[in-house]
Structure 1
Amino acid sequence: MLLEIASTGAYRPLWSSEILDELERTLRTLLAKRGVSPEEADAYLTRLFRQMKTTFPDAPVTGWERLVPTIELPDPDDRHVVAAAMAGRADVIVTDNLTDFPPAALPMPLTRQSLDDFFLDELDLHPDLVVKAVRAIAARTGRSGPTLTAYDIATYLRAHGAPAFGARLLVALDQTARPAP
């Protein structure tokens, strides 16, 4: 969802090599829990990272390593995230791990937001782009799993990790489905 919304131009994603390594480890664990074989996981991750590189050629951040020692966080293993955000001149770190990124530890004007709050902001700022992104995701479903509608996706998000966004997205989908007067 994050990358689909970014692909509409609503915001510019940034990541470092360390963030991608962390993402790969997390996805491998998730895929293994879902019963995906290591070979299938390799193929999926290769496609995903190739697509990310192609779609967002300006997303990789360099020069972040030198900033790591200057950052104080509750979990030192998270310093690379703030360093990458600083090097990329990001405005916000999107994470549901808010306690490990206390506002006082972030250099101004960098902030952190939960995924739910970030999605809400994007929906407020770019409602048409967010709805377009959700509909694009729905249009791709059904190839290797169930076919989902944009409403199904919004309902799922409301129940799993982005409750406020999911609820507001349902309203936005209703509003965009109605013909203009």
Structure 2
Amino acid sequence: MAESRENVTNAVAGDIIGVYDTGTYQVGDTLTVGKNKFEFEPLPTFTPEIFMKVSAKNVMKQKSFHKGIEQLVQEGAIQLYKNYQTGEYMLGAVGQLQFEVFKHRMEGEYNAEVVMSPMGKKTVRWIKPEDLDERMSSSRNILAKDRFDQPVFLFENDFALRWFTDKYPDVELEEKM
């Protein structure tokens, strides 16, 4: 790891630099000078398969909790969803280890202990905002928003997804992020 740091005014391809960020940049952004524009394929994202509800253990640590979640979600460490009806935060991951890393980092880096409880919702699908009707939510799915405020359903299982698509044949659900 880096043993020293120094201020620089110029950097060339291959240099690793740190930039003070007020939230403008995201993981994978490329900085250039002038009108040169580079476009790369976006970093891959994976549709989560397991979910947990998450909240701050100590209500007095809400600021640290929110800062930590925002940063870790931006880094891609975990995916965040917010329940439309209750406002509860829900995390999505591909594997259990992501939750353990999330909890460890929240406690170690942001001094925010978290309470996490497993959910049975495992099948996620995005819905176009214009197709959304909050009455589509049922006991077999949860209507939520992703980190970009896009509506998403968390289905209990594949049967619940099939039931939904049979009931609403004109509604197009997407498996993508």
Q: Which category of TM-score, normalised to the shorter sequence, fits these structures?
A: under 0.3
Higher relative contact order (CA 8 A, sep 6+): 2
Larger radius of gyration: 2
Q: Which has the higher helix share?
A: 1
- TM-score, normalized by length of structure 1? 0.24
Normalised to the residue count of structure 2, the TM-score between the two structures is 0.24
- More strand by percentage: 2
